[in-house]
A and B are shown apart, each in its own frame.
Chain A
């Protein structure tokens, strides 16, 4: 009953209300947006194992850039088939997570980046006992 009243108040019939609600719930989530949200929220750098799970077109673009060692913003935009503003938004997250570094070669007209995959093989703290010195 309350739904009918609310629907009438908002100016559409109750039969309209249900499909609208369903539409809102079923809106597909962009995997790239989801990844960017996750990368913004975390503090760890991007690991080689992360890249494997990246959605396209980001994964193949990162693979290309890592193998080459450097890449320009224009090239990233072209490879991801995105406008410069959207590309820059993504790139800023990758810079914050230390996958890309702004290169000294950057000019007013073009930004260049160097790539560097990183990760600790064993994220453990150092022992306090001087064990390794004793073994060496």
Chain B
């Protein structure tokens, strides 16, 4: 049976898309077929990490599906080869459009989030996914609530920052109201001078939830500039080992 995992954060810039891409790659390395949906329609970006060129003519996106221009599986693109290393599994990405007109149309007209739900189910069934990873828009709205409501696992990314701490408390509360079975927190961009064990203990006590990983602020991640998936470019980095721990908790 397929597992649905939402990757969310209360605020933007936490590293949600990077974490999603890294987890997708690690899961695919185990031989799994992994679907990734970029539901951050207002500010999409995960396609860059997978090297998918959305400027190509005729390339279908989540927007096309939501407006009835194509079936959900037509918007799914196999990005496994673009990862640049041999992988036994598969990564299929449904990107969101980066055309200004299409983003503006979503903002102006909106869409029925029920279609997203149908799309997720269709994607799982048609592509026989082992895992569906949903890269969400930051903050709480009907789309993110739907993603959380249908997910078995919710990963909330936060930085060790007072604004993130407060907002994450709201998200954790909502996740508990939606009875998420497996709630994991990932503390990202942690200054290396912090004691990571202390950070983990503090966050676990504050939210009453499991911390999957405390990831350091990394110059290597910044230097990569979204030009590839980090865990594949730096397979021996300490971040990879910590993310592997998250993968074990998802499986």
Query: CB within 8 Å of B: which residues of A?
Result: 45, 47-49, 51-52, 59-60, 63-64, 66-67, 69, 116-124, 126-127, 131-132, 134-136
Tell which of B111, B121, B179 touches A121, judged by Cβ atoms closer than 8 Å. Answer: B111
Contact at B109–A118, with CB atoms within 8 Å? no
Most buried by A among B105, B107, B143: B105
Give 5 CB contacts A-B under 8 Å. A49-B145, A59-B179, A67-B151, A117-B114, A122-B108
Contact at A121–B108, with CB atoms within 8 Å? no
In the complex with contacts A66-B150, A132-B104, A132-B105, A121-B145 CB distance below 8 A = no
Return chain A residues, CB-CB under 8 Å to B106. 121
Contact at A60–B109, with CB atoms within 8 Å? no
Return chain A residues, CB-CB under 8 Å to B107. 122
Contact at A48–B145, with CB atoms within 8 Å? yes
In the complex with contacts A47-B142, A119-B142, A135-B114 CB distance below 8 A = no
* Interface size class, chain B: 20 to 34
Contact at B142–A64, with CB atoms within 8 Å? no
Contact at A63–B178, with CB atoms within 8 Å? yes
Give the distance in Å from the alpha carbon of A60 to the alpha carbon of B178 in the complex: 7
Contact at B174–A52, with CB atoms within 8 Å? yes
Q: Does B43 belong to the interface (CB within 8 Å)? A: no
Contact at A136–B101, with CB atoms within 8 Å? yes
Return chain A residues, CB-CB under 8 Å to B99. 135-136
Return chain A residues, CB-CB under 8 Å to B108. 122, 124, 127, 131-132
Return chain B residues, CB-CB under 8 Å to A59. 177, 179
For the A-B complex, the count of residue pairs with Cβ-Cβ distances under 8 Å equals: 92
Return chain B residues, CB-CB under 8 Å to A69. 121
Contact at B105–A119, with CB atoms within 8 Å? no
Contact at B152–A121, with CB atoms within 8 Å? no
Return chain A residues, CB-CB under 8 Å to B152. 67
Contact at B146–A48, with CB atoms within 8 Å? yes
Q: Does B117 belong to the interface (CB within 8 Å)? A: yes
Give the distance in Å from the alpha carbon of A47 to the alpha carbon of B177 in the complex: 14
Most buried by B among A64, A131, A132: A132
When C-beta atoms are compared, the residue in chain B nearest to A123 turns out to be B110
Contact residues, B106-164 vs A (CB, 8 A):
106-114, 117-118, 121, 141-143, 145-146, 148-152
When C-beta atoms are compared, the residue in chain A nearest to B147 turns out to be A48
Give the distance in Å from the alpha carbon of A66 to the alpha carbon of B178 in the complex: 10
When C-beta atoms are compared, the residue in chain B nearest to A64 turns out to be B179
Return chain B residues, CB-CB under 8 Å to A118. 112-114, 117
Known: A51-B178, A131-B108, A135-B99; 15 extra A-B contacts, CB below 8 A, are: A45-B114, A49-B142, A52-B145, A63-B178, A67-B150, A67-B152, A116-B118, A117-B150, A121-B112, A121-B141, A121-B143, A122-B109, A122-B110, A134-B101, A136-B99
Contact at B101–A132, with CB atoms within 8 Å? yes
Contact at B110–A116, with CB atoms within 8 Å? no
Contact at B146–A124, with CB atoms within 8 Å? no
When C-beta atoms are compared, the residue in chain A nearest to B181 turns out to be A67
Contact at A117–B101, with CB atoms within 8 Å? no
CB of A75, distance to nearest CB on chain B (Å): 15
